[in-house]
Structure 1
């Protein structure tokens, strides 16, 4: 790697060395936000820099947004589609310029035809996605036919607005042009993301044309992936770090140094040799994604909800509190780890300690409010799935119950000091109605557990589930976060 001279606070700035002129539009990335900038483009950039094979040196990316984000793409264009990634923890700072993006596209700026036309380019091989859980428009792992965006797209399928509608129309055009299939690569935090994406795309395609659905099923691959890198929303502290490195705020993103990408190696039209950048290819990603979703993401949700109730604004502040830190570690090792099926060589104690070290990174200011966004979409895979395992096994799950109770308390919109908490959630309207219609207590808990979009009917009807969540909620409201955690810490452990 080449290094620029030191800038600002003596940060070394790393430049890629590959020939950018050789890049073609081979990857179309939908949902080009902070995570895509800090994760996927960085891995692609390092892959291009590390390969000596000519066929691996032309993998350029097109950055796509569908709704908001025109200004972000305009700023990227002004910098010749280059951006900077600043990876920082309490020990070090690494700064890299990323050159792998070769173009941007937004249907509101460039027209829908400009986006859909890219699907008919023979060199396109991968459509990658970071559209968040709600972007898949699914319910119970299948396309939700009642989703407002899906209803609109099926009414006007050649003018789609959702990512699923865009993919299906793009694949229809690709098929009509006589081109081969490609890979749709989900990089979102949801269980078996490739399977969920495949189900949504095929359900939408079948609603349009059975022949199109059959072609997609035969020619398009949907590998599952597990992605891991903490990328907080860029705040004043992040902008200050970028400024001290000599980087404009709209040209950079701040993240942690750690990253991990595990990918099922099923690519219909080839792929870059991502292993050059440390990517692990496997035949089944499920054990890895369950480990990450439950131990990392589950503890994140636990800390975000309880931390906000206690008046803590960042994850680093949460794990700086001895009670919250101990509770998060106990959640990981005593309640989440027993629900996993991993090869024996995985040291989950070491993994938990490494996660807590990452959470302690005070330079990122990872906001509890950001992590709590869309929790109704995240709760089923992060907390409810392991609860089901414990219910079936008859094993204890007090911290998981407290995590669910913490979200129910958070949804009432006030922390323990009476300060307002923002509810940024697809179900915010319905939750607000439940809060307004029920006094705080058992009736409110039961009404919230009746939200079938979050709590499946069989779980909400399970007496053990309801009683344990209700008990945790009532204690939390009566005693407060820290007293409840202190009681948990003092409680005798059940025998293994």
Structure 2
């Protein structure tokens, strides 16, 4: 049965108990990918099913060209979609109905009008780690980036998320309306702080007074978000059809979900604490735990698995060498430099991470975990290396992880299979990885990724040794050597 408002009552899965016709958008969201639709939207759906938050429905905002196709797909089914939460021994499908519309890319005036609407109290973002224009050499927003500079020259017709947010805030200030809260839900350390800098500095290019007003009056709460959510393929669309629903854009995800959020919403917010969101005064300990143990762990799993032609993440966890490599690097090098987290046992958290990654129902791919290392490594791995070096601690396992990433970016697996481009900067990475075979500094010297850390002999020496071994002996033999087998 095709998913639509007209068929909701007859679908063989759980559906919204609320009247979608009574929903009013209070959130404009940028980046309506699978993670957002399985995370923030699910929490809102739960709250609305309790009879609350009906004035905080989501109005999507497209920015990237690919958003046009996603919008058409969702519009054809009345902005409904199915989320299938999967435990190892059960699946729980549910239709999510919190989205009221999806503005197309290429229409900044329409998006700015929505941002300027008094009903909009929150603007949220899941635009991926690479969407924040961060210069790894400085760790700060890069206002000279061509896309941002173009918005600075043409603030009335911006093309970036940050240019659009600035234009919306300008319109609200001119209309005498209070600002909305900007809520980042991406996996970036201090994501609210990062987003604040991006918005303020984009505004400063065209209107310094507006930039100062934003800095003084707009709230940017930090958040930690977590849910493993693979990309949707024909496999998932076929699985949802087997359940009895024709859904062109289903989302399959794990049954685990977490959201820790700083409670700083001057314009108001939905009562998400009633459906499991944890509001805290400072999210920093939680986000560092998640980014370094979970996201860093993904990288530790990903590159040896990719080089050994392992397709799914749960298959990587079934490989004794990969599983032992993850366990040793996490316990020896990562967890010891993660600061304490309130009411949390870090070793128990890591045990849960391993359980989640081993879930065979998720269908998460190694290729997805390998994706976009040039943006992810500076956030998930390199800060741990830097912390250990600052404390005079060894980095053998993390040096091997870096060498595995380098070897992966050389473009072939151990079997000789070609690795399709898997990073926005793939050509540069491949050239550097191949050059590193004889000159390791060709890799570690990428200052926009490694900063000063790559110049430290205490990482350079083990990196060079592991990289040479990977090329000479292969991934499995190198892991055995590291594990002492």
TM-based fold match above 0.5: yes
CA distance in 2, matches of 1:6, 1:78: 17
Equivalent residue for 2:35? 35
CA distance in 2, matches of 1:485, 1:113: 54
Equivalent residue for 2:223? 225
Judged with a 3 Å threshold, the aligned counterparts in structure 2 of structure 1 residues 435 and 355 are, in CA distance, closer, same or farther, namely closer
* CA offsets 1:466-489 (integer angstroms, 9 cap, x no match): 112111211222222111222222
Contact 1:86 1:255 in 2 (8 A): yes
CA distance in 2, matches of 1:59, 1:290: 29
Equivalent residue for 1:64? 61
Equivalent residue for 2:122? 126
Equivalent residue for 2:330? 332
1:50-199 alignment runs, 5 A limit: 50-51=50-51, 56-67=53-64, 68-108=66-106, 111-139=107-135, 140-199=138-197
Equivalent residue for 2:319? 321
* CA offsets 1:193-241 (integer angstroms, 9 cap, x no match): 1100001111111121121012211221101111100110112332222
TM-score by length of 2: 0.94
Contact 1:70 1:106 in 2 (8 A): yes
Equivalent residue for 1:48? 48
- Kindly indicate whether residue 484 of structure 2 is the aligned counterpart of residue 477 of structure 1: no
What's the offset of the Cα at 1:344? 6.6
Secondary structure of the residue aligned to 1:216 is helix
CA distance in 2, matches of 1:372, 1:251: 23
What's the offset of the Cα at 1:27? 0.1
Secondary structure of the residue aligned to 1:58 is coil
What's the offset of the Cα at 1:422? 2.0
Equivalent residue for 2:482? 488
C-alpha RMSD over aligned residues: 1.8
Equivalent residue for 1:461? 455
CA distance in 2, matches of 1:253, 1:83: 8
Secondary structure of the residue aligned to 1:261 is strand
Contact 2:310 2:316 in 1 (8 A): yes
Judged with a 3 Å threshold, the aligned counterparts in structure 2 of structure 1 residues 403 and 220 are, in CA distance, closer, same or farther, namely same
TM-score by length of 1: 0.92
- Gaps spanning 5+ residues in structure 1: where? 8-12, 492-496
CA distance in 2, matches of 1:146, 1:330: 41
1:267-416 alignment runs, 5 A limit: 267-343=265-341, 345-416=343-414
Deviates further, 248-257 or 227-236: 248-257
Q: How many residues align?
A: 475
What's the offset of the Cα at 1:411? 0.9
What's the offset of the Cα at 1:78? 2.0
Contact 1:308 1:415 in 2 (8 A): yes
Equivalent residue for 1:494? none
